[in-house]
Amino acid sequence: MPTTRFKGETAGERLDKSSISDSDMIQLRHKPGTIEDADKGISKAQLLSCPFGVSDTAAATAAKAASLTDSNPDFTLVSGREVVVCFTTANTASNPTLNFAGSGAIPLYMPNGSPIGAWNAGAWMHLKYFYATVNNTQIQRWIVMSASAVDSVASNIFYPASSNAVAAAVAAAVAEVTEDIEEVAGEVVKIDHNVPRWVNGVLGKDITSYYNDGTLWKRIAGTDGFSAFEDLYVGDFFQMSRAISAPNQDSQYATTGSQWVTIAGINTLAGNGDSNEVNYNHLVMVPGKGEEGSFHFGRKRMNSTNTTSGGYVASEMHTATIGSVVSSGSTASGATINQQLYAEFGSHLKTTRELLSNAIVSSLYGRFGSASGASSGWTWADCQACLMSEVEVFGSIVWSSSGFDTGTACKQLPLFAFSKKAINNRSAYYWLKDIASSVRFSRVNNYGYAGYNAASDASHDVRPRFVLGA
C-alpha cells in the first residue's frame, strides 16, 4: 500500500497542513489501472476551512439536506473537503444521503466502509468528502470523521472516557479513513494548478475581477504578495472588454466572437521554441467560458480555394485572419485577431515559436487509406494566436496526415483532458491546424467528434489558443 503524504512528508508529518503554501493543491493520485478519472484539486484555503451547516430533514427521510449557516458563496465540493453538520432531527432511515449546500445527494459512510446508521436529534458530525471514478463507476461518499449521538458508532470510537482517549480515538479514526482512501485511490500528493475546480457545480471560477483590478498579472508572476498562480486554475475564465471576431467574414455565416476566454493550460508551453524560449509563467487561453459560452472568435475559411498547399503556415487563416505578429493593437474593421488581442492585452500577449507545416505532397497517404495527400515539411514561425492541433485538443491524432502537422503542439491541454464538454459544447465546429488531405483541414465537430472539411468552407469557427504572461 502506498504511503499517504502531504508534499512528500513522513507519515508523522502528513497531517500538518500548515506546511502547504496558499498556491498548493491537494489531490488523490490513482493507482494505475484502478481509477480512470483523476480527482479534483483543493486549495489550502479550502482544505483548512470547515464550513458549518444545519440539517432539519425529517427522521424518516433518507435524503438529508444541510444549508450553510455562514456566508460562503464560493463553496466548492472537491475530494478532501471537510464540513461540520448539526442534525437538529434524528435519523431512522436506512442508507441516508446528505446534500450539503446544494452539492447533491451523497451517501453517508462510516470509516469501516458501511453506511451510517441511526442518530439522535442534535447529532453533530465532522464529515470528509471522497470522490473517484473506478472502473467507469463514480464513487463519492461523505465519510464520518467524528460524531456525537450516532447510534451506530456510539460504542466504538466517539465516546471515549477522557481527553487523552479523545485524541487517540480521533487519530485512530483519521488513520482508518486514510487507509480506506488509500485502498481505492493511492497516494495523496501535491500537484500544480492544471486540475480544474468545480464551483457550485460549474467548471471553473469567474476571475474577471482579477483581470479588471490588475492582480491577474501579479498572480501569474507570483509578485506583490501573491504566490505564483494564486487562485488560478485551468477552467477558470474571465470577460474581456470586447468580443474578438475574425475579420472579413462571409456575410452568409458572419457571427460575433466570444468576449470570454478560458485558461486551457498553465505553464504547459514551458521550454517551447527553437529561440525565444517560453521560460516564464504563462497561461494558455482559448475562447469560451469554461464549459459554456461560444467557443470561437467568429467564422472564417482556411483558404479561398480547396487546397492545403503550403501547409498551415501559408494558409489564409494563419496569414490574414489571425495575422502576423504585432506590437500594436487595433479594433478597427478588418483588424486581425492578433491585432484585436493586442489591443486587449498589450504586451501581456506573448509571442511564441511554433513548428508549423509548410508543404504537402498530394500523392502521399494520409488517414483516409488512399493517396489523398499529406503534409511533408515544417518550419519555425513566430506566433501570437495559433490554431490548435488535434493532439492539443483530443490528446492524439485522428485525421492529421503526418507528424509535420503537430510540431510543437504535441501536448494535450489540461482543460480538454478533464472535460469533453470543454472541447465542444455544441456551440461551434472549429478548425484545427492539422492537414487532413490535399484539400481538407481537420476540425472539431459540433456533435463532439473529430472531423475534417474542405479548406474553403467559410461556415467553420475560429478557435485559436494564445499565451498570456505577466
Query: Pick from 174, 191, 208: which residue ends a domain?
Result: 191
Give the chain's mean pLDDT. 83
Query: Pick from 191, 218, 251: which residue ends a domain?
Result: 191
Cα separation, 149 vs 121, in Å, equals 8
Grade residue 189 by pLDDT with cuts at 50, 70 and 90: very low
Phi, psi of 418 (to 5 degrees): -95, -20
Cα separation, 420 vs 391, in Å, equals 14
pLDDT at 3 > cutoff 80: no
> Which residue type, as a one-letter code, is found at position 429?
Y
Question: Does a structural domain hold residue 350?
Answer: yes
> Which residue type, as a one-letter code, is found at position 103?
S
pLDDT at 35 > cutoff 70: no
Residue 83 near residue 109 (C-beta atoms within 8 A):
no
Question: Does a structural domain hold residue 4?
Answer: no
Stretch 366-374: mean pLDDT, rounded? 94
The reply to whether 28 and 153 lie within a common domain is yes
pLDDT confidence of residue 257: 96
Three-class SS state of 345 = helix
The reply to whether 175 and 207 lie within a common domain is no
Stretch 191-201: mean pLDDT, rounded? 83
Tracing cell 515539411 back to the chain, one arrives at: 377
Express the helix, strand and coil content of the chain in percent, nearest 5 each: 20, 30, 50
Contacts 24+ apart (CB under 8 A), 268-277: 268/194, 268/411, 268/413, 268/414, 269/352, 269/467, 272/352, 272/353, 272/354, 272/408, 273/352, 273/353, 273/354, 273/380, 273/408, 274/353, 274/380, 275/353, 275/380, 276/351, 276/352, 276/353, 276/382
| Residue 400 vs residue 447, higher pLDDT | 400
Instruction: For 62-92, write each residue's pLDDT tens digit.
Output: 999 998 876 555 677 888 888 899 999 999 9
Stretch 184-210: mean pLDDT, rounded? 76
pLDDT confidence of residue 179: 53
The reply to whether 23 and 63 lie within a common domain is yes
Alpha helices in 149-203 (DSSP H): 163-185
Stretch 261-277: mean pLDDT, rounded? 95
Cell of 38: 483523476
Cα separation, 235 vs 285, in Å, equals 10
Stretch 16-33: mean pLDDT, rounded? 40
Cα separation, 355 vs 366, in Å, equals 19
Grade residue 351 by pLDDT with cuts at 50, 70 and 90: very high
Grade residue 101 by pLDDT with cuts at 50, 70 and 90: confident
Considering the entire predicted model, what is its pTM? 0.65
The reply to whether 317 and 182 lie within a common domain is no
Cell of 333: 474593421
Grade residue 136 by pLDDT with cuts at 50, 70 and 90: low
63-68 and 97-100 beta bridge pairing: parallel
* Least confident piece of the model among 39-43, 260-264, 403-407: 39-43
The reply to whether 163 and 137 lie within a common domain is yes
Question: Does a structural domain hold residue 456?
Answer: yes
Question: Does a structural domain hold residue 330?
Answer: yes
Stretch 426-431: mean pLDDT, rounded? 92
Cα separation, 82 vs 396, in Å, equals 37
| Residue 174 vs residue 359, higher pLDDT | 359
Instruction: For 371-420, write each residue's pLDDT tens digit.
Output: 999 999 999 999 999 999 999 999 999 999 999 999 999 999 999 999 99
Question: Does a structural domain hold residue 340?
Answer: yes
Stretch 301-327: mean pLDDT, rounded? 98
Q: In the chain, how long is the greatest CA-to-CA distance?
A: 83
Stretch 331-344: mean pLDDT, rounded? 97
Parent domain of 413: 198-469
The reply to whether 427 and 286 lie within a common domain is yes
pLDDT confidence of residue 168: 53
pLDDT confidence of residue 259: 98
Helices (H) and strands (E) in the chain, counts: 9, 23
DSSP 219: H
Q: How many structural domains comprise the chain?
A: 2
Most confident of the ranges 8-22, 177-191, 421-435: 421-435
pLDDT confidence of residue 61: 96
Question: Does a structural domain hold residue 5?
Answer: no
Grade residue 139 by pLDDT with cuts at 50, 70 and 90: confident
Query: Pick from 140, 160, 191: which residue ends a domain?
Result: 191
The reply to whether 379 and 396 lie within a common domain is yes
pLDDT confidence of residue 37: 36
Residue 294 near residue 258 (C-beta atoms within 8 A):
yes
Question: Does a structural domain hold residue 6?
Answer: no
Question: Does a structural domain hold residue 258?
Answer: yes
The reply to whether 47 and 23 lie within a common domain is yes
Cα separation, 391 vs 308, in Å, equals 19
Cα separation, 329 vs 348, in Å, equals 12
| Residue 185 vs residue 466, higher pLDDT | 466
* Least confident piece of the model among 34-48, 144-158, 231-245, 247-261: 34-48
* Percent share of the chain, pLDDT over 90: 65
The reply to whether 226 and 366 lie within a common domain is yes
The reply to whether 284 and 381 lie within a common domain is yes
Nearest to 129 by CA among 19, 50, 24: 50
Cα separation, 430 vs 416, in Å, equals 15
pLDDT at 465 > cutoff 60: yes
Give just the sign of the alpha carbon dihedral 81, 86, 89, 94: positive
Burial class (CB in 10 A: 0-12, 13-18, 19+), 120: middle
Stretch 445-467: mean pLDDT, rounded? 95
Nearest to 75 by CA among 111, 104, 106, 116: 104
The reply to whether 51 and 96 lie within a common domain is yes
pLDDT at 21 > cutoff 50: no
Torsion of CA 165, 171, 172, 177, to 10 degrees: 150
Give just the sign of the alpha carbon dihedral 17, 20, 25, 30: negative
* Percent share of the chain, pLDDT over 70: 78
pLDDT at 184 > cutoff 80: no
The reply to whether 214 and 154 lie within a common domain is no
